[in-house]
Amino acid sequence: MFENFKVFETEFAGRPLVVETGKTTQLANGACLVRYGETVVHVAATASPKPREGVDFFPLSVDYEEKQYALGRIPGSYGKREGKPSEKAILVSRVIDRPIRPLFPKDMRNDVSIVCTVMSYDPDCLPEIAAMVGTSIALSISDIPWNGPISAVSVGLVDGEFVINPTQSQREVSRMAVTVASTDSRIAMIEAGADIVPDDVMFSGIMAGHEANQKIIEFIKGIQTEIGKEKFEYPSNEPDHEMFEAIKEFSIEDIKVALDTDDKKIRDERLKPVYEKVHEKFDEIYPDQAEKIDECLYKTQKFVVRRWLLDEQKRVDGRKMDQMRPLASEVGILPRVHGSGLFTRGQTQVLTVTTLGSVSDQQSMDGIDDQTNKRYIHHYNFPSYSVGETKPSRGPGRREIGHGALAERALVPVIPSVEEFPYTIRLVSEILSSNGSTSQGSICGSTLSLMDAGVPIKAPVAGISCGLITEGDRWMTMVDIQGLEDFFGDMDFKVAGTHEGITAIQMDLKISGLTPDMVREALYKTHKARDYIIDEVMLKAIPEPRKELSKYAPKMVSTIIPVDKIREVIGTGGKVIQKICAECDVKIDIEEDGHVYISGLDKDNCNRALTIVDTIVRDPEPGAIYKGRVTRIMDFGAFVEIAPGKEGLCHISQLDVKRTEKVTDVVNVDDIIIVKVLETDDKGRLNLSRREALIEVEGLTPENDLPPRRPSSGNGGRGFKRRYND
């Protein structure tokens, strides 16, 4: 029945890689089922037979779909089916897109769709790697024009050794997680997160991944040779050469004048009359080809910028190749937030705001991997006004999610652990103005904002981008590319890190790949630049994290209790913990491992709640002082509850530093008083003393030698009671 069914097998980082074709998905241009260990990913590639009308770009879409059945789980939503893609799925889609997009013909406008569906999930074999390999195979064997194949691997660093496609246990201890995609000759894509890894170690890891990719590329070439289809022909969208040369000759001098400024707004204003002048002349010569005329103008601008860079080492804003735009940093911009930082680089400006919350505010994750929650969150907003446009806001798109994730990944290695800083941390970067490298600006703004909020980060992190221009064997790099250099250049190599090492990398290319020398130079130049940004700009705005949190931030204390005591702290139906929260005006979160986090606006209330929790799970020790509530009054004394279920007797002789004749002269039911634990008797009952507590805390002198008298309204017991009734 399946006469075209083929199975191809190889070994990939010590695990079997099996590719099946010809049995399923007969109507797609190309498809395969990739089995890597027990991970199974289905990949289908399709293309429209004709270009869409009016499309002036290559319409490629990549979707990475996570199915909950892949790990035997029913979705938790109301409809019990998968909803919109998780952020992880969107990020993987972007990672797959970046290395394959430059390998399509530049003049093709047919829609191309790649759909990768994770059908079975083995945590030791990453499905995103299987999806990238499957995408390469599906495109290679299809009739879709594409200049592949590529391969991709994940590189870890475990005990000082590089590990290709690390297992789940290896990933948990790895110092870096680097995805490297390659062609048969060049490095096509890098996506990295690292725990402050030195540049030379990162470079070696990238090259180890590039080398590992070559075996899989040869494997894919073998599949393509055996079953690959002939590529279809498509109508080219490339403007006629004669048209381009005529428009270039007519407009090039005006375009040079328009582009020669460091102000994006002025540049755009100067270009408008140039476009009008060109259309006025050429619309009649080339009727119904307005889009092609605009394409020629775009190509002319690109020609000018690239010639300036390659031939004259001239940048449109007059900077040297290694010179950054003017930089500025400020903190404490917003008075009522917990922390804020404003970072400006030329006409790119980012305001990042920090909000601190309780541990229970952490984000729940619903993907197919093993991450269930996240306590450090970064969100990135790119409103249309940041580029002078008037589009309505439609919520975050893939670009916003990707840039936010990059900034988040860059700061994760320096965020203190929950034991050191028991808060959930949310950062929001508002892009106020954009002219290139907003993602890297948000990294710098995040560092400023975190330090302003008093978060004890391990080291400041800065981000910077490096550009590239190539022509044949000629190439050169430039630091801190602005928008025009990104549009017309060949690379946007973003690197974030501290003085000591790299924390994140994202590499976008418009060419097929980079040589090792290009990668090495980009790492060197970005390290030099981020050192300057940290020392000369950011640390001059705020040299270290603030010692105190904002008065508007919640105060947090924590402890660890025995797991078998959790039930006592919670109480039947939550009565005990609810009582503590209400009495102390706090919020309490208890983890399964016994970690207890208490948050509130008043630090004293938090400490009081902590004392109550400790008292519940541990027997009060003689000499300890507590605040407690009077629950009963007897002739011989008052019973005081120092914690739910922990009650003791304060004898009448121990109620005050003065002689007491009547208990109600000093305390009444529901009064909050301080008491000191004298002893626990042989029946487990607590004996308490308000008298000793007042002497120790207030330094009062006992007056037991005086005759007994009723305390006055202005001092005595009730005055002290009011002092602690907070």
**Residue 502, domain extent:** 327-541
The token pair that represents 544 in the structure block: 């270290």
Six-digit token pair at 73? Answer: 């789980």
How much is the average pLDDT of 325-349? 96
| Cα 505 from chain centroid (whole Å) | 13
Side-chain-side CA neighbours of residue 490 (13 Å):
20
The span from the CA of 651 to the CA of 452, in Å, is: 51
CATH code at 21? 3.30.230.70
| Domain limit, last residue, from 576, 593, 618 | 618
Share of the chain above pLDDT 90, in %: 74
Whether residue 344 contacts residue 328, with contact meaning beta carbons closer than 8 Å, is answered with: yes
Tell me, yes or no, whether 713 lies in a domain. yes
CA dihedral over 65, 70, 75, 76, signed as positive or negative: negative
The average confidence (pLDDT) of the chain is 91
Answer yes or no: is 149 within a domain.
yes
pLDDT at residue 703 in the model: 64
Q: In this structure, are residues 134 and 41 in contact, taking their beta carbons and an 8 Å threshold?
A: yes
Pair (128, 26) in one structural domain = yes
For residue 126, what are its two tokens? 């990453």
Strand order in the sheet with 161-164: 161-164, 151-158, 176-182, 187-197, 502-509, 491-497, 462-471, 474-479
- pLDDT tier for residue 103 given thresholds of 50, 70 and 90: very high
* Burial annotation 485-509 (CB, 10 A radius, 16+ → b, else e): bbebbbbbbbbbbbeebbbbbbbbb
CA distance 497 to 429: 18
**pLDDT given at position 76:** 76
Task: Point out which residues pair with 633 in neighbouring strands.
Answer: 638
Shared domain check, 259 and 285: yes
Whether 703 and 596 map to the same domain: the answer is no
Query: What gap in Å lies between CA 372 and CA 370, rounded to an integer?
Result: 6
Same domain, residue pair 648 and 725: yes
Question: Which of 482, 469, 485 has its CA nearest to residue 518?
Answer: 469
The whole-number pLDDT of residue 393 equals: 83
Whole-angstrom Cα distance, residue 420 to residue 414?
Answer: 12
Looking at the domain assignment, is residue 59 inside a domain?
yes
User: Residue 640 is which amino acid?
Assistant: V
Q: Are 610 and 710 within one domain?
A: no
Instruction: List beta partners, residue 19.
Output: 8, 34
Tell whether 162 is covered by a domain: no
- Residues 32-66: pLDDT tens digits? 999 999 999 999 999 999 998 878 889 999 999 99
- Characterize 586-622 residue by residue with b for buried, 16 or more Cβ atoms within 10 angstroms of its Cβ, and e for exposed: bbbbbeeebbbbbbbeeeebbbbbbbbbbbbbeebee
Q: What is the rounded end-to-end Cα distance, in angstroms, of the chain?
A: 81
What tokens were used for 360? 């229970």
Query: What is the mean predicted confidence (pLDDT) over 578-598?
Result: 91
In a domain, 342, yes or no: yes
Residues 514 and 627 in one domain: no
629 - beta bridge partners? 641, 672
Question: 493: closest CA among 503, 483, 478?
Answer: 478
Distance from C-alpha of 206 to C-alpha of 615, rounded to nearest angstrom:
54
Instruction: With CA atoms as reference, report the closest residue to 164 among 200, 124, 135.
Output: 124
Q: What is the mean pLDDT of residues 107-118?
A: 96
- pLDDT confidence bin for 540, thresholds 50/70/90: very high
701 sits in which H/E element: none
pLDDT of 516 above 90: yes
Q: What is the mean pLDDT of residues 495-516?
A: 96
Task: Give percent above pLDDT 70 in the chain.
Answer: 97
Q: Is 181's pLDDT higher than 80?
A: yes
Q: How many CA atoms lie within 13 A of 509 on its CB side?
A: 27
How is the beta sheet containing 348-357 ordered, strand by strand? 327-331, 339-345, 348-357, 424-433, 376-381
**Which secondary structure element, helix H or strand E, spans residue 361, and what is its range?**
none
Could you tell me if 396 and 497 lie in one domain? yes
Residues 424 and 516 in one domain: yes
What does the pLDDT look like over 687-722, one tens digit per residue?
999 999 999 888 777 764 444 434 433 333 333 333
Q: What is the pLDDT of residue 725?
A: 31
DSSP letter assigned to residue 256: H
Highest mean pLDDT among 130-134, 422-426, 675-679, 699-703: 130-134
* Angle, in degrees to the nearest 10, between helices 241-259 and 264-282: 150
Residues whose CB falls within 8 Å of the CB of residue 723, separated by 6 or more in sequence, listed in order: none
For residue 20, pLDDT over 80 is answered with: yes
Is position 233 within any domain?
no
State the amino acid at position 516 in one-letter form: P
b/e per residue 129-166 (b: at least 16 CB within 10 A): bbbbbbbbbbbbbbebbbebbbbbbbbbbbeeebbbbb
Is residue 213's pLDDT more than 70?
yes
* Contacting residues for 337 by C-beta, under 8 A, at least 6 apart: 353, 354, 355, 550, 552
Q: At what angle do helices 575-584 and 603-617 cross, to 10 degrees?
A: 150
CA atoms within 13 A on the CB side of 549: 21
Q: 510: number of CA atoms within 13 Å, CB side? A: 15
CA distance 97 to 600: 45
Predicted confidence (pLDDT) per residue in 54-102, tens digit: 788 899 999 999 999 998 988 877 788 888 888 999 999 999 999 999 9
- Rounded to whole angstroms, the Cα distance separating 196 from 188 reads 23
Residue 160 located in a structural domain: no
Is the confidence at residue 517, as pLDDT, over 70? yes
Dihedral angle, C-alpha 623, 625, 629, 631, nearest 10 °: 0
Least confident of 40-44, 600-604, 679-683: 679-683
**Residue in the block written with tokens 């074709």:** 21
Distance, CA of 348 to CA of 325 (rounded, Å): 10
In this prediction, residues 314-328 reach a mean pLDDT of: 92
CA dihedral (444, 447, 449, 455) in degrees, to 10, reads 180
Q: Read off the amino acid at residue 288.
A: D
* Residue-by-residue DSSP string for 449-491: HHHHTT---SS--EEEEEEEEEETTEEEEEES--HHHHHHSSE
pLDDT level of residue 611 (50, 70, 90 thresholds): confident
- Under 8 Å between Cβ of 520 and 203: yes
Q: Are residues 43 and 82 in the same domain?
A: yes
Tell me the torsion sign for CA atoms 652, 658, 660, 666.
Answer: negative
Q: 220 and 85 share a domain? A: yes
- The pLDDT of residue 705: 43
pLDDT band at 581 (very low <50, low <70, confident <90, very high): very high
Q: Say how far apart CA 550 and CA 338 lie, in whole Å.
A: 5
Q: Considering the domain boundaries, does residue 161 fall inside one?
A: no
* 345 pLDDT higher than 60: yes
Say if residue 478 is in the same domain as residue 559: no
The CATH code of the domain that includes 654 is 2.40.50.140
Count of structural domains, the chain = 5
Q: Which of 479, 508, 541 delimits the end of a domain?
A: 541
Where in 565-659 does DSSP place strands (E)? 587-590, 595-600, 625-634, 637-643, 646-651
Whether 666 and 614 share a structural domain: no
Question: Model-level pTM greater than 0.95?
Answer: no
- For the record, the structure tokens of 383 come out as 């409103």
Torsion angle (degrees, nearest 10) of CA 647, 650, 651, 652: -130
